[in-house]
Amino acid sequence: MRVHFVVHESFESAGAYLKWAEDRGYAISWSCVYAGEALPPNADEFDMLVVFGGPQSPRTTREECPYFDSRAEQHLINQAITARRMVIGICLGSQLIGEALGAAVCQSPEKEIGYYPITLTEAGLRHPLIAHFWLPVNRRPLAQRYARTHRSGDRAGRKCRLSTSDSAVRQFCLRLPVSYGIYR
């Protein structure tokens, strides 16, 4: 398996995702966009795409952040999903998946900083990959502020919600067959 990581800032880490890929002997490639590294030219370059977070939003322009190209990342995400590659988005990465699929991103009612309990929805309790989690899922650290979510009436937000917290109704989302967004 070929796993490609897109990292937006030097303080963002692949952490457990990197260890998971290394432990399995997967081929790993990187786009550290903050360091000027290019995105893959297309989805043929990987089997799994993992897009991490950052302080940007899907609407951040090149003028506001010269090394971040939201449109290019959304295009790559769309190519990957169309090619049936696995796509995982964490925080900003999840927002980029949503935007790439036509969902609007809006401000969350509150910023989540620190530890928050997450509860699986009925869909989450039935999902074969996460149904084994207990309810509520143990409090877990949030490495950065999260202040954006998908609107509840949009296609991605309405159909994919697998878990919630008190301040963000979508904490873990699914886009069939193999695309996940994790808000943290």
15 CB burial (10 A radius; 0-12, 13-18, 19+): exposed
Q: Provide the pLDDT for residue 120.
A: 72
Residue 127's pLDDT band, with cuts at 50, 70 and 90, is: confident
**Domain interval for residue 15:** 2-182
The region of weakest confidence among 35-44, 85-94, 121-130, 133-142 is 133-142
Q: Band of the pLDDT at 125, cuts 50, 70, 90?
A: confident
Output the domain CATH number for residue 15: 3.40.50.880
Confidence of residue 143 (pLDDT cuts 50, 70, 90): very low
pLDDT in tens, 154-164: 444 445 666 66
Structure token digits, residue 119: 């509860």
Confidence tier at 137 by pLDDT (50, 70, 90): very low
Interatomic CA distance for residues 33 and 120, integer angstroms? 33
The whole-model pTM stands at: 0.76
Cβ atoms of residues 76 and 43 within 8 Å: yes
Question: In this model, does residue 170 exceed pLDDT 60?
Answer: no
Whole-number pLDDT of residue 101:
85
Residue 170's Cβ-side half-sphere holds a number of Cα atoms within 13 Å equal to 31
Write the DSSP assignment of 1-41 as a string of letters.
-EEEEEE-STT---HHHHHHHHHTT-EEEEEEGGGTPPPPS
178: exposed, middle or buried (Cβ count in 10 Å: 0-12, 13-18, 19+): middle
CA 6 → CA 12, 133, 140, 158, distances in Å?
A: 10, 27, 23, 26
**Residue-wise pLDDT tens digits, 102-120:** 877 766 666 655 556 667 7
Q: Quick one: what percent of the chain has pLDDT higher than 70? A: 62
| 55: preceding bond cis by omega (within 30 degrees) | no
How far is residue 175's CA from residue 64's CA, in Å, rounded to a whole number? 29
Q: What is the mean pLDDT of the chain?
A: 77
Instruction: Supply the pLDDT for residue 152.
Output: 38
pLDDT above 70 (res 77): yes
Say how many domains are in the chain: 1
* Distance in angstroms between the alpha carbons of the first and the last residue of the chain: 26
127 — phi, psi (to 5°)?
Answer: -75, 130
Q: Report the C-alpha gap between 65 and 62 in whole angstroms.
A: 5
CB atoms within 10 A of CB 183: 27
Beta bridge partners of 7: 32
Going by pLDDT thresholds of 50, 70 and 90, the confidence category of residue 47 is very high
Q: 13 versus 154: which is more confidently predicted? A: 13
